[in-house]
Amino acid sequence: MSDETYQQQLAQEAELWGSESERMAEVVPPEWTHHRHLRHNVIVHGPEIERLLRLVKPGMTALELGCASGWLTLALAQQGADATGMDLAEKSLAVARAYYEKVQPSVKGRVTYVAADFNRLELPAATYDLIVVKAVLHHLVNLPSVVQELRKALKPGGLLWIDDTNGDEAPLSVLIAGALCLVLPTHTRYRDKLRALWKFGLRAPGRVKASIEAEGLSPFEGAGREHDWLKLIDDHFTIERRVSQPGITGYVSAQLKLPDALAIPFLKALRALELLLVRLRLVRSTGVVLYAR
């Protein structure tokens, strides 16, 4: 990719996520006490985020890569950390800074927000007790050097926490997620779903797969899938804990058009079933949370 194309795509990436941060901040304040009630957090990410936050001790130095509107960086500081949030999107950082300014007097630790392109990341050596990277690695084209920077920047014994997707969605996961979204009430009308099924026929699973992997949304979506970040982390760190996330449930949760009172019990049951299928190795989970040192 030429440098000009890369810069254009990077600008698109920043615009996409910056606008998303602005939109989300209108709906829900960028703070974990509010974000924890969002459906994707209740169903998929919440338990491991809570676990992470319990590990943060006052005075720790923490870095979050891909902080977007800053809700997680702020949560680290609320636990007493001296936290730095980095992101490409200036619009996201503006949302994060404005919110931090508002709540700063009640925050135990400190927050600094810094703009950076992680594909050209340079971090100071042995600086952080904790590095957090959520839903970012699969957007990066220069993963081997990013992982080396993370290794360099983490203090000896420090914790690296990652929540991301790894690898392609397996055909069975795609079929289950597609079938559930076909029969359940989703944000797409039944008439349109049937039309799409008629139009795409045997190519329909491919469309669902692309949708699960969020292709088309960001110019770099899935760029990092080629690199197998899990292997890179395994090569450079000691993995202490690895948790599978329910990818099918996560996808259905985002599509489902039902009030939370109905959706949440259904999704919790689906999550339990999916994690059982993962444990029985009938379905492969691409969602992973890692704790590594």
Ligand X SMILES: C[S@@+](CC[C@H](N)C(=O)[O-])C[C@H]1O[C@@H](n2cnc3c(N)ncnc32)[C@H](O)[C@@H]1O
Residues near ligand X, by CB under 6 A:
13-14, 17, 66, 68, 87-89, 92, 116-119, 134-136, 139-140, 220
Please state the closest distance from residue 176 (CB atom) to ligand X, in A.
23
Nearer to ligand X, 87 or 274 (CB): 87
Nearer to ligand X, 52 or 68 (CB): 68
Q: Name the H helices within the chain.
A: 3-27, 32-35, 39-40, 46-55, 71-78, 90-103, 143-153, 171-183, 190-200, 204-212, 229-236, 247-255, 260-279
Nearer to ligand X, 220 or 237 (CB): 220
Nearer to ligand X, 192 or 215 (CB): 215
Identify the sign of the CA torsion 246, 248, 250, 253.
Answer: negative
Q: Which residues contact 107 (CB under 8 A, 6 or more apart)?
A: 74, 77, 78, 100
- Residue bearing tokens 């996808």: 251
**Which amino acid, residue 245?**
Q
Q: Which residues contact 227 (CB under 8 A, 6 or more apart)?
A: 143, 144
Nearer to ligand X, 114 or 172 (CB): 114
DSSP 152: H
Please state the closest distance from residue 157 (CB atom) to ligand X, in A.
24
First to last CA, the chain: 34
Please state the closest distance from residue 115 (CB atom) to ligand X, in A.
8
Nearer to ligand X, 13 or 82 (CB): 13
Please state the closest distance from residue 249 (CB atom) to ligand X, in A.
17
Please state the closest distance from residue 274 (CB atom) to ligand X, in A.
21
Q: Where is 114: in which H helix or E strand? A: strand 110-115
Q: Where is 134: in which H helix or E strand? A: strand 128-134
Please state the closest distance from residue 35 (CB atom) to ligand X, in A.
8
